[in-house]
Structures are given as C-alpha cells and as structure tokens.
Amino acid sequence: MSHLTAKSRPMSTTSKTLTFDTSTSRANPTPSPMKRLTVPRIRQQKGGEPLVMLTAYTVRMAQLLDPHCDMLLVGDSLGQVIYGLPHTVAVTMEMMAAHGAAVVRGSYHAAVIIDMPFGSYESSPELAFKNAAHLLKETGAAAVKMEGGKVLAPTIEFLTKRGIPVMAHVGLTPQAINILGGYGVRGKSEEEAASIVEDAAAVADAGAFAMVIEGVLEPIAIEITAKVACPTIGIGASALCDGQVLVTEDMLGLFERTPKFVKKFGNMAVGVEAAVKQYADEVRRRSFPGLEQIYRSTAE
C-alpha cells in the first residue's frame, strides 16, 4: 500500500470492482447496499446454507474476506498469529479492541464477532457484561464469543438478556490450555463426549445465538448440531455442522505446520517469500527503484 499519495485503485471482488482509497483504507464508494448480516439472520440460517466464517485481525484482510464471508471472527488466536505468543492466555482486552475496530472498519457485509480474552469474563456475569459492552462500544462488533460450557450458561443468559449477543465455544477450548495440557481432540471417552454434548445444550438453552464446536470426534458434532436450536460452526468437527470456521492464515498456507483439520486453500508463504527474495535481489542489484518508481521532474 502506497503511503505517498491518496490515490484510488481498483479492488476487485468476485462480483464487482470497488475502488480502494489508500488514504482512508475505506472502499470508495461504499459498497451498496451497506447492510451487515445481523445476529437474528445468522440464527435463522440454522439448517440452511452453511455459514462461512473466517478469522480476521487487520483492516486489509477484512476487506479481502468480507465479500465472501457471513461472519468475520476477531479470534484471540491473534495472540499466536499476530503477536507470536505461545497460546491465547496472555491476550489482552486492548489487543482485542484494537484489532476488532480495524476489522469493523474494513468490512461492510459480514457480522463481526469478537473473542472475549481469557480472564475477562469467567469470574462473574457482571464482569463479563462490563468487558463485553466495552468491546462492542470500542469496536462496533455485533457480538462476542466466549469459551466454555455449563459453567458459563448463567453468564450467557445474563448478557443475552441485556442486549449482548453471545457466540459460545465448546469442545476443545484453547484458553484452558493450562488445564488441558495440549490441543488434542476432545470427547474420546464416553464420559467426556456426554459432557461436551451437555455443555452445548446448556449454552444453547442459555441463549447463545450460535456456537463454535472445536476439535471433537465427528459424532459429537453431529449429535450437537441435531440437538441445539442455534447454528453450530465447526472447526475440526464435521461438514454437517451449520457452518465452518478456520484461522485465515492457516487456510492461506502462511504457516509450515498444517494441523489435520486445516486444508490449505492457498500457499501464501511461498508467494511472500518469492516476492521478498525478488525485492532483495533488485535492491542489491540497484535495479529497484526503476524509472517508473522515481520522481524525475517537478511536474510529477
């Protein structure tokens, strides 16, 4: 992105060409109709066309994903993806607020859902409400997501009844890494499988408008999807969930490691490496900047 002048250049989407104003990072003109998908509409999609969700943490990525997604998730996975943290436990409210606001600024169509970071919601419904309200006010996101099952049901009910839509997250809950000891698939024993199904039923009954089901044996995801009234969004779960989510950088192939549940739909690491290598070569050969990139007269 050029920082020298505020020019417009085409931003292509599958359906139309928008112009992208580099001085404001807004698409210009604003795509019309600028109507975001609402939480009630997402809820209504239960059992219909699968819901498409991807993570987004930055304005440009949000712009690229927005035309194709129903929901953009500002996941606390940004701890690892953006900040190089070992897990999500250290992610702060400030990080979530800054990236959430960027994603809302870069999107027009998708509903933006923002993760509540570890420590911001577990101890009481009142604390959860205060922090969730802060995130919605700071970012303009439509809803929050929080990890947990039965124990969180009173909090989900408290927030929902006070105007804050909640997406739940059951199965593998990465914020509990220090209890779990790893990110292995959940529900291998009958007891654990039954407990995950109970968690899902409890958060759905409490008013969650949707739930992520992460890292469980497939029959568990299928059973939950059949049982609960709200849409289920799978990651490492089942194609029969009501929708799917992936970490965008995983599916774009930015990382070497590909967990079993990720499909690489692109190979961004290879593209970035090739471009950077060519740039470095051209700088070292003094062939960049070339004539086209240089201001040679006062008229330019």
Among 18, 54, 66, 76, binds ligand KIV (CB under 6 A): 76
Which range of residues in 16-24, 69-77, 151-159, 285-293 is near ligand KIV by CB under 6 A? 69-77
The residue (of 58 and 77) whose beta carbon lies closer to ligand KIV is 77
Active site residue 214: yes
| 115 interacts with ligand KIV by CB under 6 A | yes
Nearest Cα to 57, choosing from 28, 27, 30, 77? 77
Retrieve residue 13's tokens: 């989407």
Among 72, 101, 136, 247, binds ligand KIV (CB under 6 A): 247
Site size toward ligand KIV (CB under 6 A) is 11
Neighbours of 233 (CB within 10 A): 30
Task: Enumerate residues 29-68 that contact ligand KIV by CB under 6 A.
Answer: 55
SS3 label, residue 132 = helix
Cα 67 to Cα 15: distance, rounded to the nearest angstrom: 9
Retrieve residue 266's tokens: 């692109």
Measure the CA dihedral 231/235/240/242, to 10°: 20
SS3 label, residue 256 = coil
Among 75, 165, 215, 231, binds ligand KIV (CB under 6 A): 75
User: Which of 147, 157, 214, 223 is the catalytic position?
Assistant: 214
| Nearest residue to ligand KIV on Cβ basis | 75
- Is the alpha carbon torsion for 144, 155, 226, 251 positive or negative? positive
Which of the residues are catalytic?
Answer: 214
Binding site for ligand KIV (CB under 6 A): 55, 73, 75-77, 115, 212, 214, 235, 245, 247
